[in-house]
Amino acid sequence: MDSPAQLEVTEIPAVDGVNAAAAPTSRRSRARKRKHREIEDAAVNSDTVPEAKPAEEREENVGRRRKKSKRDNQDIQDKQDKPGQASWKVSEPTGGLFADLLPIFSADEEYLLLGQTQSVKIYATATSMLARTCKTGGIDIFSFCLSARDPEKLYILLKDGKVQYWDWTTAQKLKTWDLGAQVSDIAVSTLVDGSEAFDVLFTSETRKGQSSITAHYLTRRDDMAAKVLYQQSEPIRAIKTLGQANYIVAVTWKSVIVGIRINAESKKIKQLQYVFNKFEVSESITCFAARINLAETSKKTAKGGVDVAIGLEDGMIRVFYDAAATDDKQKHHHITPTNTKLHWHRHAVGSVGWASDGNYVISGGRETVLVLWQLDTNTQTKIPHLTSAIESIAISPRGVSYSIRLADNSVMIIGTQDFIPTFHVAGVGFPSTKHHGDQSLLQYLPQRRTPVTSISTQLPKLVSAVPTDIYRERHEQKQKSGFYTNTGLQSTPLSSISTSVTKQALVENYSTTFRQRPDGKQLIAPNVVLLEADHSGSWLATVDEWYQPLDDLLSNSVSSTEAKISQLATVVTNLVFWAWNKETSAWERSTRIPNPHVDENDASLPNSLVLDLVAAPTSASFWTLGSDSTIKHWLPREKETLGARATTTANKDTASIWRCTRSIHVPYTTPCKGKHSAAISSARLAISKDGSVFAVSRMSSTGSEVTIFTLQAKEPPKRVFTYNLKHEGVSVAFLNQYLIIADCESVIVRDLTNSTKWYNAALGAASAADLSTSPHIAMDHEHQLFAVSVPRKLKRTTTKSRKSRIRIFSTLSKAPIFSLDNQPHSAALLSVPSLNKFYVLTTEAEIYSISPGLNENLNTNESLTGSKSEDEVILEDKRSNTLSNIFGTLGSTQAQIEDKDASIDRNELRKKIEWNDIPGLNLDQPFALPKTSAIQQLSALAIGA
């Protein structure tokens, strides 16, 4: 039994049917593409863009096709479903990351509109409660703004170049237009054409490598026509309009473009004309704001000049006065207007805005400080110690409050006079998976679980380690260093995800200090990489790491690769145990163990990483798996002070100290060879319910190796069997007497009571990138269910194109009892048995649940159809079989046992053995592996029979 067992995976058709081949391109499709190219060519060669047809008719046709496809899929699903199988419910996703979009107040300031990736949420400012949601239908949002003609209407710009028109007071979509270009930003102004007022959409868009400022307006046929106002080769990132489109302000990465309308007396929208002034700045622009200054009278119009404030990447703020073009006959100018420089921010400016009276500039950034600049006196007023970095600031229409969006995925509203918060919404944070130093070091680091867990006792909640600053792709230009470490602990009650999120610090995150070394480089906080809670919810264990900065290790004689290897050798790892304090409703640190997997016999060896952390299923203890091929068991004991036990602490759990009670070496049976010679292989650890069996999956030279060990007190572990799998990403788990082994293409369920494979289910083909990713597994011991989530990468290469495939299995059936495809990319999959639900956390920080329907029967003693199936009869026979195979034989060879078993009638064997007379063995309770003494008696009785 000690020899490795080769696993042959039998391909079983997936539940969701057969993958259809891609259909060849039709003649009509080619003609449609050719027509689009002709329209784009005409747009580039002329100032007027041909009218774009409304998308209503096309959406109606698409809707018919989707309904037909949905009916066909439902028919297929009905044929595949087993008779009597009840339905499962998938809840609507809640939470989510607030997008990098400016919050918008309603005209009466009673509502605040916040943008997310694929929806706009409307919150009541008086109660901080969600009023309604406008969903785009699965397409990402680039920008949104209120209608200038009717403030109860909303324009949403989508990634595919379409614009949706909504009534946000009822969350009803009214119309959709296709602009036919790649649009980056949108602004709206009202213009009068004849006797009617129309909304004109000003966009920054790109056609065939040329970036332009374009005005889109409705024709009398309710179509969208367009006129190009300005064109250049450099991409235009953002745009604003002021004073009924009398001014246009746009920015690129290092330039500002200001346009002034020169024919304001014209009543025809088609006759819009502007004179533009463009001027450069030295650093990258991170944010900007503009206002009309009535004190500055332009020679072209008597409506005042325009002042522009910009925030730069180096922390400087520059204020340009009367930035519009001068009065001459040239269409384009390159004149730098008078400007003022404001210095205080040490990092890139996150947001900048103008006060309603124009006397103040408001700014914020990574310092977590809101700064008010009094321009006349050059004085500063600071509101410090906000919870996270400031990403955007919006001023209400009456100028009485500020809306501040923070980098920890929260939004607040404060008064402009007293600075007291009157509104607060905290979104769900997402654990960062990016390394806090050089990103290329990731190829040497192991792949770990997402640091999130569930607590089912009392008030069910999700607990996760999250960064103070949520990572966003836009920071690649603003802050190239990208220090985004998991430094905080977030608790999310599953009953009220959007309103009751609480946070506390896990490590020193330097959120309100300089965070700089004497040489000017930034300090890096430790990163929490693993997190787990015990079964009672009273204890929490975390693992955090800190690496020496790569710049400190580089020199003329040290290469980049050698420096990265030195980084791994200098890692500082902390295993920290936290106790839940009921009085303060917070986690209190009990014990911190530095470098828990350091070699005690040879301190000169480099520190080992903690690859996995799991909690014991039924006791207050934890297990860790290190890169030194050791497993350690951690238990608490009460602190003793001067010979007396500490009993004066308010919380008794904090008066306990954790220590390692056992260290087990689990060597490889096959050589381990990663992609790089210095790479640390990924690993997963699983413990059986009674703690007598554990499984370890690790990368090997041929893929992955899964080894099963038995564990007895004061005895070395015994290896039972080993699986060698061809894929690198493998996860393991125990469900009662079953061992679950999953990779991205299949799930293997093995019954440990007789060392046979119970069944194998295929999950479908996966791409090469997905095969190295370990699946997520969630176990429901109470109902004998488990769920598996595997990634699936679509044809597009962007991160958001990644989806997940979810399957739910029961130990009573060899096929999945529920299937979900094309779900948002899963970051974690958790089980909450007290609620009878599985919860999924996506990479967009959204949470949704999967639960059985009202008629779902999860009684483990009965089948889904109410009568015992053939599989259940076999399962019952396996439960009553002897357990000798898993622990070896006592006094006989395996061949002798098989021969003896073959000659014994199973029913006669059951009659001869008095099961209830064996101490520690109770077959009436849900199955868990018995004690060693009971197993030895059972094996002896079976052999003696």
Among 923, 879, 940, which Cα is nearest to 754's?
879
Residue 357: per-residue pLDDT? 87
Residue 540: pLDDT band by 50, 70, 90 thresholds?
Answer: very high
Q: In 21-173, where does DSSP find H-type helix?
A: 27-45, 56-80
Among 59, 50, 22, 77, which Cα is nearest to 819's?
77
Distances (CA, A) of 173 to 142, 165, 176, 177, 766: 17, 6, 8, 12, 37
Q: Give me 507's structure tokens.
A: 């490590």
Tens digits of residue pLDDT in 398-412: 999 999 999 888 899
Residue 507: pLDDT band by 50, 70, 90 thresholds?
Answer: confident
As a whole number, mean pLDDT of residues 653-679 equals: 69
Contacts of 419 (CB under 8 A, 6+ apart): 370, 383
Q: Which of 86-90, 239-243, 324-328, 852-856 has the highest mean pLDDT?
A: 239-243
Tens digits of residue pLDDT in 124-142: 999 998 999 999 988 889 9
Q: Give me 618's structure tokens.
A: 């039924």
Cβ atoms 884, 897 nearer than 8 A: yes
Q: Which helix (H) or strand (E) holds 718?
A: strand 718-725
Residue 164: per-residue pLDDT? 93
Tens digits of residue pLDDT in 200-242: 899 999 888 889 999 988 766 667 788 899 999 899 999 999 9
Residue 337: per-residue pLDDT? 85
Residue 330: per-residue pLDDT? 60
pLDDT at 578 over 90: yes
Going by their DSSP bridges, the two strands 826-832 and 5-6 should be labelled as: unpaired
Residue 85: pLDDT band by 50, 70, 90 thresholds?
Answer: very low
Going by their DSSP bridges, the two strands 332-333 and 274-280 should be labelled as: parallel
Tens digits of residue pLDDT in 709-750: 888 777 778 888 888 888 788 899 999 889 999 988 889 898
pLDDT at 101 over 70: yes
566-601 core/surface letters (b: 16 or more CB in 10 A; e: else): bbbeebebbbbbbbbeeeeeebbebbebebbbbeee
Residue 873: pLDDT band by 50, 70, 90 thresholds?
Answer: very low
pLDDT at 27 over 50: yes
Average pLDDT, the chain: 75
CA 870, distance to chain mean position in Å, is 42
CA 676, distance to chain mean position in Å, is 28
Residue 764: pLDDT band by 50, 70, 90 thresholds?
Answer: confident
Among 34, 41, 33, 36, which Cα is nearest to 209's?
41
Angle at 149 between CA 144 and CA 150, to 5 degrees: 75
Residue 754: pLDDT band by 50, 70, 90 thresholds?
Answer: confident
Residue 43: pLDDT band by 50, 70, 90 thresholds?
Answer: very low
Q: Give me 635's structure tokens.
A: 């238990």
Considering only residues 445 and 841, tell me which one the structure prediction assigns the higher pLDDT: 841
In angstroms, how far is the first alpha carbon of the chain from the final one?
A: 23
**For residues 913 and 918, what is the distance between their CA atoms, to the nearest angstrom?**
9
Residue 886: per-residue pLDDT? 37
Tens digits of residue pLDDT in 282-306: 899 999 999 988 765 544 444 568 9
As a whole number, mean pLDDT of residues 185-192 equals: 85
Handedness of CA 631, 636, 640, 643 (dihedral sign): negative
Tens digits of residue pLDDT in 463-485: 988 887 664 444 433 334 444 67
Handedness of CA 460, 466, 472, 473 (dihedral sign): negative
β-partners of residue 162 are 178
**For residues 299 and 302, what is the distance between their CA atoms, to the nearest angstrom?**
7
pTM of the model: 0.74
pLDDT at 332 over 90: no
pLDDT at 801 over 80: no
